Structure 1
Amino acid sequence: MYLTRFRVNTGRSDARQLLGSPHRLHGAVNMSFPTRPARDGSGPRVLWRVDRDGASETLLYIVSPTRPDLTHLVEQAGWPASDEPGWTSFAYEKFLSALDVGDTWGFRLTANPVHNIRHQYLKEGERTKRAAHRTTQHQMQWLLQRQEKSGFEIVQKPVERRLLEQGDEYELIVRDRIPLQFHRPPAKPSSNDVQITKVTFDGRLRVTDPELFRRTLTHGLGKAKAYGCGLMTLAPVRGES
């Protein structure tokens, strides 16, 4: 497994076009691998996420079973004439193997929190429709409902730090929400459009089941993984060993 970080040159028009189209960026990520991993659920898949750190930098993160070659992205959306390397890939397997019960980490997850709804005009037995969670409370609840089966638990705040609003008992915030609607060529505009809502969670978690948690980190969490959702990354917590 590899964790790769690529810095996007947002001053280039091609880069801005990629960032504006999850479908194009999905294709560009896939082109980084001569042989794409199987998507039958039997093994880790390619996950990716774009982080925008204000106006300072935009980073593309990729987790993949094999090492990617991002030469085409450097030429299209990076600094091809720079002496600095265009991307950095880290061996991820050793880190994953070292995860243990009780480990505490800061995390970031961009996901597509959805639920199934039934419209009044649908008859009993007919298919429900998938819809995005719209409120911060429901989006947080979506993640909290999945923590046990995903091998972690969100750390709870000390009582003295909690506010009155519901959901504030956890070390968890919704950093941004981005509704997206786009079409997949060769479909016509507004025909079979893809509609997703990207939600970025920042928080602190504790590992409860290392095997399940490793699967979460390598298989993703939630829907719309092809369009930049599902990838969770970890960071050390200050004051923690």
Structure 2
Amino acid sequence: MYLTRFRFNTARAGARRLLSSPQHLHAAVMSAFPEILPAAPGPRVLWRTDHNATAEVQLYVVSPARPDLTHLVEQAGWPAAAATGTAGWQTYAYAPFLERLDKGTTWNFRLTANPVHHARRKDGEPTKRTAHLTARHQTQWLLQRQDAGGFRILAKPADRRHTEHGDEHQLAVHGQRNLAFAKQGTTGRVTLTAVTFDGRLEVTDPDALRAVLTAGLGKAKAYGCGLMTLAPIG
């Protein structure tokens, strides 16, 4: 497995076009892997964009094969700088890091996800997949998945908890985006809500957490959701 980071040149029209369309960006990411067929079984390619500032947008990709992002550099990066010897992206072997995950260790994490539940509007109607729209419900969505996912989100110190407001974990929910676009090859439309979670977690089951880090969490993985990354605390 590999973890790759690419920075968009947001001054370029190509970058703005890709960032405005999850479908176009998904196609661009998959074009980095000539050996991976779209419908082939096997490990999934995960990706996420981090909008850290107006001029700092990073693309993260977790993949079973090493990507070639030359086309992204040409369309949405800094081709002249890349021509001087830097590829324009950084790729790291992910397996050594994953193998070092130990039970009881704590990490900062970031996850962009599509928190949904199934509900019916009227009695007798079939249930329909519906997005969670409030930070409280989005937080509960993540908390409900932590046991199976092999992690526990850390609680705040007792003097900083506000349990009556549901604010008792070291977790922030932000960057909500409501997306709607035509589904390629059909007359239907895709609508989804994506949010970003930043927080701190403890590893409770290393194997289960490795599965989350490489296979993703939740729905809409083709549209930039599901990728969790870890970083050392401090």
Superposed structure 1 runs of 4+ greater than 3 Å apart? 37-40
- Cα distance in 2, alignment partners of residues 128 and 164 from structure 1: 31
TM-score, normalising length: structure 1: 0.91
Which residue does the alignment assign to 1:226? 222
Which residue does the alignment assign to 1:110? 112
| Alpha-carbon displacement from aligned partner over 1:151-177 (angstroms, at most 9, x marks no partner) | 000001110111354321110110221
**Structure 1: gaps (5+ residues):** none
Which residue does the alignment assign to 1:119? 121
C-alpha RMSD of matched pairs (Å)? 1.6
Which residue does the alignment assign to 1:46? 45
For the pair 1:55 / 2:57, whether they are aligned, the reply is: no
**Structure 2: gaps (5+ residues):** none
Which residue does the alignment assign to 1:22? 22
| Alpha-carbon displacement from aligned partner over 1:26-69 (angstroms, at most 9, x marks no partner) | 000000001226767x7431000000112241100000011000
Residue 27 of structure 1 aligns to which amino acid in structure 2?
Answer: A
Tell me the secondary structure at the aligned position of residue 166 of structure 2.
Answer: coil
Residue 17 of structure 2 aligns to which amino acid in structure 1?
Answer: Q
For the pair 1:180 / 2:176, whether they are aligned, the reply is: no
Point out the structure with the larger helix share.
Answer: 2
Which residue does the alignment assign to 2:193? 197
For the pair 1:90 / 2:92, whether they are aligned, the reply is: yes
Say if 1:4 and 1:90, in contact at 8 Å, map to a contact too.
Answer: yes
- Cα distance in 1, alignment partners of residues 183 and 189 from structure 2: 7
Aligned length: 231
- Cα distance in 2, alignment partners of residues 219 and 38 from structure 1: 16
Say if 2:110 and 2:196, in contact at 8 Å, map to a contact too.
Answer: yes
TM-score, normalising length: structure 2: 0.94
Tell me the secondary structure at the aligned position of residue 149 of structure 1.
Answer: helix
| Alpha-carbon displacement from aligned partner over 1:109-141 (angstroms, at most 9, x marks no partner) | 000000001121x63xx5311010011100000
% identical equivalent positions: 59
Map 1:66-77; keep pairs closer than 5 Å.
66-77=65-76
Which residue does the alignment assign to 1:169? 168
Which residue does the alignment assign to 1:13? 13
